[in-house]
Amino acid sequence: MSIWNDMDWVLPLRTPFFDGFFELVTLAGYPLFLILFLCFGYFALGSRRFFHTAMLLMAAGLLNSWLKDIGQNPRPDAIYALDGRVGDSYGWPSGHTQIAVVLWGYLAYTLRQNWAYAVAAIFIILQGFSRLYLGVHDLGDVASGFVFGVLCLAAYIGVERNPLLSAKIGAASAVQLLMGLLAVHVIYALIYPTHAGHGAPFWFMGAMTGFLAAHYWRAQDEVRLPGPIVARGALAAGLTALCFVLLIVTSRLPNALAEDSAVLEYGFGALFGFAAIGLLPFLLAQISANSALRNFLGK
């Protein structure tokens, strides 16, 4: 068996401690953590930075979903698997690794500090290794996920740093950008290798559109939470909790209303994106204008 597919080497490494540790690590690569982390970061750590992080992350996720379903490469044998969340999804390329490279790599790039690059490298290595340790990806899956993650990251940064391209995007109106994104999504849906149990991730496509619409509706303004740092952190956590409720409602309602409706899934995804980074900051700004709240937060 090729070194790229052999999984026997991982069995002697397993201990109860490392089982629990890498189970915790791998949770940071699943959508629930990623979406809530993006929301918290948007409110507390720089909304412009995390808007771009979210758009890049969702674009990379859409690419990964398409690659998995077009390649249809099976995961390692079930006897190795310690992570039951993978369902019937395919193995190549590793989504956790690709997303880790994009997420932590881009955040490190925006900070431009040596410590940030070091932390990003540690998180990426841990995330990739967790998928090997838990037996749901082989080395070929993880390596390809790393390569595609680097390509996505390089492409996004390349556009940002290209004066001509960044100027054109900056000069485009919100309507033009939304129409362009919708066109990309239509093409993506048309070429998606749909088959039994595997369809395009319409909810995430919609969330991407909702994020973009909210970002321009708010005129690309930074979210500024009132009060001292502790109060801001608590407020960001509360807003993230509201995003969790929105996430549960908007992701489950489409199937409750009409099973396998692409339009509903896309629409509810867009609703989540717009409400999370558009309506919640808007409502917060209206509430924080209240003098009683300002006094409570110590501002």
- Percent of the chain exceeding pLDDT 70 equals 96
Cα–Cα distance measured from residue 179 to residue 181, given in angstroms and rounded to the nearest whole number: 5
pLDDT of amino acid 295:
58
pLDDT of amino acid 294:
55
Q: What is the pTM of this model?
A: 0.92
- Higher-pLDDT residue of 297, 159: 159
Phi-psi domain of 77 (left: phi exceeds 0; alpha: psi -120 through 50; beta: other): beta
Residue 33 has which token pair? 């953590």
pLDDT of amino acid 220:
85
Mean of pLDDT over the chain: 93
**How would you class 161 by CB atoms within 10 Å of its CB: exposed for 0-12, middle for 13-18, buried for 19 or more?**
exposed
Average pLDDT over residues 96-112: 97
pLDDT of amino acid 48:
93
List the beta bridge partners of residue 198.
Answer: 195
Average pLDDT over residues 7-28: 95
Spatial contact of 51 and 211, defined as CB atoms under 8 Å apart: yes
The residues near 55 (Cβ < 8 Å, ≥ 6 apart) are 208, 211, 212
Q: Which of 160, 55, 46 is nearest to 102 (CA)?
A: 55
Phi, psi values for residue 120, rounded to 5°: -60, -45
Q: Which of the four pLDDT bands, split at 50, 70 and 90, describes residue 70?
A: very high
